[in-house]
Structure 1
Amino acid sequence: MAAPWSHETALCPRSRELSGLAIRLLPQNCERGVDVGEVATVPVPVEAEKAGPRGKGSGLFRAFWRWHFYASFLVIPVLLILAVTGLIYLFRFQIEPVLHADLMKVQQPAGLVAQPYSSQLEEVRQAFPDATVVSMTEPSAPNRSTVFSLDTAAGPRDVFVDPYEGKVLGALNPDTTLSGGAILLHGELMAGRWGDYVIEIAACWAIVMAMTGYYLFFRGRVARARRRAAGAAGAVLRSRHGRTGSVLGVGLLFLIVSGLPWTGVWGEQTQKLATQGGTSFWAEDHGALSNPTSTMDESLPHSHSVPWGVGKSDVPRSDPADKRRSVATVDTAIAVGERNGLRRPMTVALPADEEGVYSAIGYAFNDPAKERSLHVDQYGGRVVSTYGYGDYPALAKVVAQGIALHEGRRFGTLNLWVTTVFCLGVVFMCVTGPLMWWRRRPKGNALGAPRGRLPLRATPALAVLVVALALFLPLFGITLAAVLLLDQLVLRRVAGLRAWFNTVRT
């Protein structure tokens, strides 16, 4: 009677058939000869699965290859989305003015100068009487419009104003622009909290992919070189995949680590621990309040002229409806910011109520160390308080610098292009990985997964590393436990699934 058979994949290249049966020769260091991406599907007796530790594919190379393979199912789709949306985000200041030139670009008529921001603000309020103006951003160049951010019943809106003619050009929902959609995808896959969880899980498993990828790259280099020299099919692509990954791996790990503070589980929990320890991931500006009895400085622009003698006296505390009261304007905030060294173009957050302040925020796109905000009294135009990089907790300073690198802006154009090349490299990896599997996929009812089991008992250091990673990254630990339970309770016990996933039988 014929013996039952199972499908064995990722066999040592020294396999040969003997007497009609596929007999594996397993000399010392056999797994070193296995090349990533090359899987042979050979019939092997079920009894061969009981042949001993090496018959179970317990070598590190095969085990890491298997984990690298299965992690890619979750990591590749998410990384591809993050890389593409990251590219759009990097070039948002170049893309959006092209797509919305009628709103974002203006021409300066001869002899005209920009209108006061307070006048532009009034135009916006007249055009959107039921909306709340939240902030104003100065034009970034002479041919760019002034941008006012509004809260409306229909959601957020960015309103664009011609600074020379003072007319409203139109409005956009920032979340529906190309870059706005990219930001939502990049942050939460447009799926809210659950999308954030998926990205965090993928980020955790991307660490596993990077670590196992480095092991496979260095341990498999001899086999790859041999196949390349022999002109084997797919050898060049496999080598390019490995070399590209060896360069991108470090950058990928950095982007993951610098992005973790944003995540919903790891980020929130570690922020709580940091707060308990007297520090924080984030700068926390507690703002300020205006004083209705503050002194008006005549040298600053405000809503109407005040005689010099009154300019140094206290503005009386009066009814908010009293139109005779002198108040500062958005132009006041800009003048105060410039006087105090804030870089332009500035963004000014408007007072939310009678006690609110104008918050002038200096331009610090390329250098987080120059991040600084001034809170300006809406009546007297004085600086009520300041908050900047020097006031950040030490941990927040590190996070701020990491975010600037993450977003490709810390070192200007160089950082931008390095990050661009990195994103393109990630796209290349996300395409070549599945392509290598497609070329070597087995025929029949099998996925073509490498066979292997992590030898945790034989390598305690590896067991400690896995446990430490699971504790440090909670969502990785939870999903790892779920995968191991699924493997132990289902995949190894159902013959069809065991054959499809090429799982080692217990």
Structure 2
Amino acid sequence: MTQLDPRPQARPAPPRPRARSGSGGWFRAVWRWHFFASIVVVPVLLVLATTGLIYLFRFQLEPLLHPDLFRADRPAGMDFAQPYSAQLEAAERAYPDATILAVAEPRTAERSTVITAEMPDGSPREIFVNPWGAEVLGSLNPDTTVSGYAVRLHADLMSGAWGDRLMELGACWALVTALLGYYLFWRGRRARSRTPKSLRSWHARIGAVAGVGLVTLLVSGLPWTGFWGAQVQELATRQGTSMWSLDAGAQSSPGSTLDESLPHSHAVPWAAGKTEVPRSDGEGGEGSVANVDTAIEVAAREGLRRPMTIALPASEDGVFSVIGYAFDAPSDERTVHVNRFSGEVVSTYGYDDYPLLAQVVAQGIGLHEGRSLGLVTFWASALMCAVVIASCVTGPLMWWRRRRRGAGLDAPRGRMPVAGSPWLLAGLVVLGVLLPFFGVTLLAVLVFDQLLVRRVPAMGRWFGAR
């Protein structure tokens, strides 16, 4: 007779349910893609947001770090500054081997004149001159300042083409990650209402705010990218337009990273020999008659805003290119080119002369740099940088808290129903065409998922596919 075991039999653990094809399956699939995309996106966004925040405050930060250079004490009883020609001569005496490129008027009566130069080794140099006594206060390499490092890290991680491509790849995936995040935000609203103070709820709320600014900043920054921007510019050129303003007279680049008056949407089309550069006509005169002070006076009569930046003639028959202050209004961007012999206006070029596409890009750059509407966009951009950083911190922290030991990455489980959803497939194709770096890497990820993650048990467990 068989004796029955009175103890209850242990039941095997039920298998983890597969992602359903319904709404729950969609949520987990989107969550999974959002998770994996963030592995690439988070480091890039942390760099972009942190360096962008530093760049926003460069005009407050650099004078604090270099007060001996930026501050110019006004002598008691003196109510007039030295001519800019005298200040240029002082800079040339102090740095005889440097090539002087431009001079920027002081922002206030307590600030120094900034003269941009290029050293014999090709490095840039900012020379600071006290406008009251034409005394050279010193100089620095703008690329080695805190703001200069931030600008170069923001552009390409200071790694040239490879760094530029990596930042562009992260930016493309960040756009897609933001769209996926909004889907998760909408679908997860009921769950968050039950735990309003959880880290997940905070991440969702921060991301909802960050996503708006993030998409704006990323889209407005794409024209600067080495691949996407170059391809779109080439396409625009074929259509007879341009993303950048084609000012034929801006023959010498002011080259300063600290000058807030410079329009960043200017291009140099004559470098490719496509546009004729205006020249100073010296016929009937002997030598150079006009100087930098003449150019400023002429530009002021033409209505340019101050403080101005004056790019010096790059050749014997070159022109003074006077750029008006337009930091807070891209639509005010305007340059007056002055004959170095006669002091007459050779040509003017401004926002109204830009191609329509270049006007759009100029406004986008103004938004990207937080300057289009003065303090409104400045503080809005600063807030966006802060919430992007917060989102990049709370996301990984949320994963760290929920992960299970021994479960690999412990990624959310789910498969995106690409084959069974024509709209999803069409959307991915459109995004892949508009953002080639996203499209190419998406194909690589899908191939990797199908050939390795779904077929090799160890990789499947590590990547959460089993």
The reply to whether TM is greater than 0.5 is yes
Question: Counterpart in 2 of 1:90?
Answer: 56
Sort the Cα spacing of 1:291 and 1:139 in 2 relative to 1 into closer, same or farther, 3 A.
same
Alignment of 1:327-366 (within 5 A): 327-366=289-328
Question: Could you tell me whether the CA contact under 8 Å between 2:326 and 2:332 is conserved in 1?
Answer: yes
Sort the Cα spacing of 1:381 and 1:462 in 2 relative to 1 into closer, same or farther, 3 A.
same
For 1:409 and 1:27, how far apart are their aligned partners in 2?
Answer: 47
Question: Counterpart in 1 of 2:129?
Answer: 161
User: Aligned Cα RMSD in Å?
Assistant: 1.8
Find out whether 1:215 has 2:183 as its counterpart. Answer: yes
Sort the Cα spacing of 1:497 and 1:120 in 2 relative to 1 into closer, same or farther, 3 A.
same
Alignment of 1:394-413 (within 5 A): 394-413=356-375
Deviations 1:248-271 (A, max 9, x none): 212211111111111111110011
Question: Could you tell me whether the CA contact under 8 Å between 2:173 and 2:438 is conserved in 1?
Answer: yes
Question: Share of identical aligned residues, percent?
Answer: 56
Equivalent position amino acid for 1:399 in 2: V
Find out whether 1:258 has 2:228 as its counterpart. Answer: no
Query: Cα distance, 1:99 vs. partner?
Result: 0.3
Sort the Cα spacing of 1:137 and 1:184 in 2 relative to 1 into closer, same or farther, 3 A.
same
Q: Identify which range, 440-449 or 339-348, moves more after superposition.
A: 440-449
Question: Counterpart in 2 of 1:180?
Answer: 148
For 2:394 and 2:157, how far apart are their aligned partners in 1?
Answer: 23
What TM-score results when the alignment is normalised by the length of structure 1?
A: 0.82
For 1:448 and 1:351, how far apart are their aligned partners in 2?
Answer: 62
Query: Cα distance, 1:208 vs. partner?
Result: 1.4
Alignment of 1:361-376 (within 5 A): 361-376=323-338
Query: Cα distance, 1:111 vs. partner?
Result: 2.5
Structure 2 gap segments, 5+ residues each: 1-8, 250-277
Question: Counterpart in 2 of 1:133?
Answer: 100
Question: Counterpart in 2 of 1:315?
Answer: 285
For 2:373 and 2:206, how far apart are their aligned partners in 1?
Answer: 23
Question: Could you tell me whether the CA contact under 8 Å between 2:19 and 2:28 is conserved in 1?
Answer: no
- Secondary structure, aligned partner of 1:402: helix
Question: Counterpart in 2 of 1:198?
Answer: 166
Equivalent position amino acid for 1:279 in 2: T
Question: Counterpart in 1 of 2:434?
Answer: 472
Query: Cα distance, 1:18 vs. partner?
Result: 8.5
Question: Counterpart in 2 of 1:72?
Answer: 38
Query: Cα distance, 1:31 vs. partner?
Result: 5.9
Question: Could you tell me whether the CA contact under 8 Å between 2:117 and 2:124 is conserved in 1?
Answer: yes
Query: Cα distance, 1:315 vs. partner?
Result: 1.5
Match of 1:270 among 222, 232, 239: 232
For 2:435 and 2:169, how far apart are their aligned partners in 1?
Answer: 9
For 1:108 and 1:329, how far apart are their aligned partners in 2?
Answer: 25
For 1:194 and 1:27, how far apart are their aligned partners in 2?
Answer: 38
Equivalent position amino acid for 1:290 in 2: S
Question: Counterpart in 2 of 1:449?
Answer: 411
Question: Counterpart in 2 of 1:415?
Answer: 377
Query: Cα distance, 1:445 vs. partner?
Result: 4.7
Match of 2:12 among 2, 14, 20: 20
Find out whether 1:292 has 2:282 as its counterpart. Answer: yes
Query: Cα distance, 1:30 vs. partner?
Result: 7.9
Deviations 1:140-171 (A, max 9, x none): 10000001100102411000001111111111
For 1:18 and 1:242, how far apart are their aligned partners in 2?
Answer: 40
Question: Counterpart in 2 of 1:241?
Answer: 203
- Secondary structure, aligned partner of 2:143: coil
For 1:326 and 1:85, how far apart are their aligned partners in 2?
Answer: 43
For 1:370 and 1:18, how far apart are their aligned partners in 2?
Answer: 78
Query: Cα distance, 1:80 vs. partner?
Result: 0.8
For 1:237 and 1:129, how far apart are their aligned partners in 2?
Answer: 60
- Secondary structure, aligned partner of 2:137: strand
Equivalent position amino acid for 2:14 in 1: A
Q: Identify which range, 68-77 or 437-446, moves more after superposition.
A: 437-446
Question: Could you tell me whether the CA contact under 8 Å between 2:320 and 2:339 is conserved in 1?
Answer: yes
Sort the Cα spacing of 1:380 and 1:25 in 2 relative to 1 into closer, same or farther, 3 A.
closer
For 2:213 and 2:162, how far apart are their aligned partners in 1?
Answer: 26
Question: Counterpart in 2 of 1:36?
Answer: none
- Secondary structure, aligned partner of 1:175: helix
Find out whether 1:281 has 2:281 as its counterpart. Answer: no
Sort the Cα spacing of 1:22 and 1:367 in 2 relative to 1 into closer, same or farther, 3 A.
same
Question: Counterpart in 1 of 2:261?
Answer: none
Equivalent position amino acid for 2:131 in 1: P
Match of 2:110 among 143, 159, 178: 143
- Secondary structure, aligned partner of 1:315: coil
Q: Identify which range, 251-260 or 363-372, moves more after superposition.
A: 251-260
Query: Cα distance, 1:489 vs. partner?
Result: 2.3
Deviations 1:76-132 (A, max 9, x none): 011011111111111110000000000010110022221110011111111111110
For 1:485 and 1:286, how far apart are their aligned partners in 2?
Answer: 48
Equivalent position amino acid for 1:189 in 2: L
For 1:136 and 1:157, how far apart are their aligned partners in 2?
Answer: 12
Equivalent position amino acid for 1:114 in 2: A
What TM-score results when the alignment is normalised by the length of structure 2?
A: 0.89
For 1:126 and 1:220, how far apart are their aligned partners in 2?
Answer: 67
Sort the Cα spacing of 1:26 and 1:446 in 2 relative to 1 into closer, same or farther, 3 A.
closer
Sort the Cα spacing of 1:19 and 1:31 in 2 relative to 1 into closer, same or farther, 3 A.
farther
Query: Cα distance, 1:20 vs. partner?
Result: 2.2
Equivalent position amino acid for 2:31 in 1: W
Equivalent position amino acid for 2:91 in 1: V
For 1:407 and 1:264, how far apart are their aligned partners in 2?
Answer: 19
Match of 2:387 among 425, 429, 432: 425
For 2:451 and 2:203, how far apart are their aligned partners in 1?
Answer: 35
